[in-house]
């Protein structure tokens, strides 16, 4: 049980969009980082707050986050630590180091963890919170687009192993998710593009009109970054796309919180993506791998007769317009990818399973037949060995 609040709360939450589909609130709005302490006090009051970040994010936002918590909760003890930036930190070794840090800090069940960072920090800090003293509260504060629309939503936490991504983890829902699009101003362009892959994916699995909106915004942001122009992350288009993407994921998660059915549609592109990440030693960003996975799996679905013709063309156009890759890296070995796919969590009885699309805006499958499709390995090898289809 969480202890009494750590002091009198100060400050107010600025005007924001509250997405209340889940059992907890996802709050979206510019300037929300300044209200982090208020959100923490209202949703997970505690005597101590432990902020976990990475070294790159901390350089930009840790001071502001710490100040927001101490200003709103002056009696609470606030401590912070960082991990090295990058997928390599999502490991059992870092999980052990962070739990040891909490023990050294004297953190009890009246502690709230704040995950300040991208998907790696969110997954890692969430897993620490899920397992420390059998579970303490966590507030997710995503600082990358990918984390805002995907990793921070849904309560999936975990770490990687040499055999694959996210193979050790737990479901641990956050007390709240605080999404401040203004923090995207310091996000490197390639990380911003990587987040666009998940935004476009959400349109592809849910709504053709939203897919077109997401593709348009992705192209707009990519052109601006190419010209070294500022992007207005507080504008109506950005807030609409981010809010709708979060809502899309939240609605799917709410209907299947433990990933036993329809939630598998969120894994569109991910069977191939996780294999690419493993085979490249995680040198490829997750969103870039998802972009390639979406294109490859659309081609697989079309050749298997599951996916409507033209779906891959539409996806490659949207992904390419956002500056994302639309096929496998040169020299990628089909056999290595297939071997990696056998470790995917969707694999059953040795088969390779994919969360395919029926068409843009519509996932393949149903509750009776399931939401993933097993494909013959020979077809998978054939497509993986094929040259990249021409861009539109």
Cα separation, 285 vs 262, in Å, equals: 26
Question: Is residue 5's pLDDT more than 90?
Answer: no
Do 309 and 378 fall within a single domain?
yes
256-291: pLDDT as tens digits: 888 889 999 999 999 999 999 999 999 999 999 999
pLDDT interval class at 58 (50, 70, 90):
very high
| Residue 270: active-site member | yes
Contact 146, 190 (CB under 8 A): no
65-86 per-position pLDDT tens digit: 999 999 999 999 999 999 999 9
The per-residue pLDDT for range 157-212, each reduced to its tens digit, is 999 998 888 999 999 999 999 999 999 999 999 999 999 999 999 999 999 999 99
Q: How many CA atoms lie within 13 A of 21 on its CB side?
A: 18
Element (H, E) at 138: strand 138-142
- pLDDT of 296 over the 60 cut: yes
Could you say which of 222, 267, 297, 302 is catalytic? Answer: 267
Quick check: is 390 in a domain? no
* 251 in catalytic set: no
pLDDT tens-digit readout, 297-331: 999 999 999 999 999 999 999 999 999 999 998 88
Put residue 332 in one of left, alpha, beta given phi > 0 → left and psi -120 to 50 → alpha.
Answer: beta
Asked about 156 being catalytic, the answer comes back as yes
Q: Is 42 a catalytic residue?
A: no
Active-site residue (options: 222, 263, 316, 346): 263
Tell me whether residue 41 is one of the annotated catalytic residues: no
Shared domain check, 216 and 171 = no
Q: Which candidate, 149, 56, 67, places its Cα nearest to that of 114?
A: 67
- Whether 9 maps to a domain, the answer reads no
Average pLDDT, the chain: 92
pLDDT of residue 127: 98
Residue 346 catalytic? no
**From 259, 277, 299, 302, the catalytic residue:** 259
Shared domain check, 194 and 154: no
Q: 252 and 329: one domain? A: yes
Please compute, for residue 249, the number of CA atoms within 13 A of its CA located in the half-sphere on the CB side.
25
* Catalytic-residue membership of 87: no
Buried b (16+ CB within 10 A) or exposed e, 28-65: bbbebbbbbbbbbbbbbbbbbbbbbbbebbbeebbeeb
**Per the structure, how many domains does the chain have?**
2
Is residue 297 annotated as part of the catalytic site, yes or no?
A: no
Decide which of 185, 214, 243 is a domain's last residue.
Answer: 185
- The answer to whether residue 6 is domain-embedded is no
Which residues make beta-bridge pairs with 176? 25, 139
């Amino acid at each position: 049980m969480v202890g009494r609040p750590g002091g009198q709360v100060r400050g107010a939450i600025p005007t924001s969009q509250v997405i209340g589909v889940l059992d907890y609130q996802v709050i979206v709005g510019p300037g929300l980082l300044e209200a982090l302490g208020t959100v923490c006090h209202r949703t997970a009051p505690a005597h101590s707050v432990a902020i976990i970040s990475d070294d790159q994010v901390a350089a930009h936002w840790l001071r502001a986050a710490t100040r927001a918590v101490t200003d709103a909760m002056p009696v609470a003890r606030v401590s912070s630590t960082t991990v090295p930036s990058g997928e390599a930190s999502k490991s059992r070794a870092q999980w052990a180091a962070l739990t040891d840090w909490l023990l050294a800090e004297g953190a009890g069940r009246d502690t709230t963890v704040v995950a300040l960072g991208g998907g790696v920090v969110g997954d890692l800090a969430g897993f620490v919170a899920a397992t420390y003293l059998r579970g303490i509260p966590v507030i997710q504060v995503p600082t990358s687009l990918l984390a805002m629309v995907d990793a921070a939503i849904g309560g999936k936490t975990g770490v990687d192993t040499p055999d694959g991504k996210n193979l050790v983890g737990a479901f641990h829902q956050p007390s709240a998710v605080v999404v401040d699009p203004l923090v995207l101003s310091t996000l490197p362009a390639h990380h911003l593009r990587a987040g666009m892959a998940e935004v476009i994916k959400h349109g592809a699995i849910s709504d053709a009109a939203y897919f077109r909106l997401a593709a348009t915004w992705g192209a707009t942001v990519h052109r601006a970054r190419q010209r070294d122009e500022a992007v207005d992350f507080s504008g109506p288009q950005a807030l609409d796309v981010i809010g709708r993407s979060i809502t899309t994921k939240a609605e799917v998660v709410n209907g299947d919180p433990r990933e036993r059915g329809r939630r598998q549609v969120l894994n569109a592109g991910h069977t191939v993506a996780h294999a690419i990440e493993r085979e490249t030693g995680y040198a490829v960003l997750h969103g870039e791998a998802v972009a390639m996975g979406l294109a490859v799996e659309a081609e697989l679905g079309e050749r298997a007769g599951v996916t409507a013709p033209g779906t891959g063309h539409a996806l490659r156009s949207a992904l390419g317009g956002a500056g994302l890759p639309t096929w496998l890296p040169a020299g990628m070995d089909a056999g290595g990818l297939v071997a990696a796919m056998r470790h995917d969590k969707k694999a059953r009885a040795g088969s390779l399973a994919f969360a395919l699309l029926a068409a843009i805006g519509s996932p393949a499958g149903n509750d009776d037949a399931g939401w993933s499709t097993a494909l013959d390995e020979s077809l998978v090898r054939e497509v993986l060995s094929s040259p990249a289809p021409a861009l539109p």
